[in-house]
Amino acid sequence: MQDIITALTRAARNLFEPRILAIVLLPMLGSIMLWAVLAWLFWDAWTGGITGMIAGTAVAGWLTQWGADWVINSSAWLLVAIGLLPGVYITALIITEIIAMPFIVKFVGERYHAGLRREAGGTLIGSVLNAVIGISIFAVLWIATLPLWLTGIGAVLAPVLTSAYLSQRMFRYDALAEHASAEEFARVTRASRGDLFLLGILLSLLLYVPLVNLLVPVLSGLAFTHLGLGRLAQARIGNS
């Protein structure tokens, strides 16, 4: 737990470093702008398609008989809005991974682990494959947990847990790719699986805090890099 707290506090302080401050808002604002444009272009098509699917159900027929067509239209709007949330988050993580993580890993490595040997066990193909697998699993989990949104507490827990899974899955690879060998990566992530997921949960909770949520993608990249490189350094000391 101490390593998680250290990673979070260091990451929070690093947000105000000039090199990080220059990119801290780019992932989330870029993602929001992108999806705002897409929503403006395709909103009618998206809501129309969902309305058409809902209209074919028995419940929709009953609502139409009672003159409650507005429920169908409102449900379509709500479902599209819910569908946009993971899109915005995933896009922000992808932007962070592509644009911010090279700066983050270089910054954390030079500032806190200057003597850490670089084994370059990660590859671009490995990073892409890791992201594709993570996003695919996240999408399945998101769809599977949608019914929990109707249970009150599930509407909070389900997004937090699925977002935690995705963030730790994507960032743990890039955090270690430059410094760890393939064997070290497997060993460190296996030994730190619980802490990585817990860190992901804590960061996902910040998505519910207005304005702070704009910083979460870069903060996550920093925190996972601190935790990952710290654990790698400890593992090498233990094996020396």
Q: Give the tens place of pLDDT for each residue, 110-167.
A: 899 888 888 877 788 888 898 999 999 998 988 888 777 767 677 778 888 999 999 9
Reported as a pLDDT band with limits 50, 70 and 90, residue 6 is: very high
Selection from 164, 135, 149, 184 nearest residue 79 by Cα: 149
Position 137 scores a pLDDT of 92
Q: How confident is the model at residue 53 (pLDDT cuts 50, 70, 90)?
A: low
- Out of 1-5, 107-111, 143-147, least confident range: 143-147
Lowest mean pLDDT among 21-30, 78-87, 184-193: 78-87
pLDDT computed for residue 47 by the predictor: 74
Over range 211-233, report the average pLDDT.
92
In whole numbers, what is the pLDDT of the chain averaged over residues? 84
Q: What is the DSSP string of 113-158?
A: -TTPPP-----HHHHHHHHHHHHHHHHHHHHHTGGGGGGSTHHHHH
The count of other CB atoms within 10 Å of the CB of residue 136 is 10
**Residue 1: exposed, middle, or buried by beta-carbon count in 10 A (0-12, 13-18, 19+)?**
exposed
Q: What is the pLDDT of residue 217?
A: 92
**What is the distance of C-alpha 181 from the center of its chain?**
24
Query: What pLDDT score was predicted for residue 143?
Result: 83
Residue 175 carries which side chain, given as an amino acid letter?
Answer: A
pLDDT mean over 223-227: 95
Band the pLDDT of 66: cuts 50, 70, 90. Answer: low
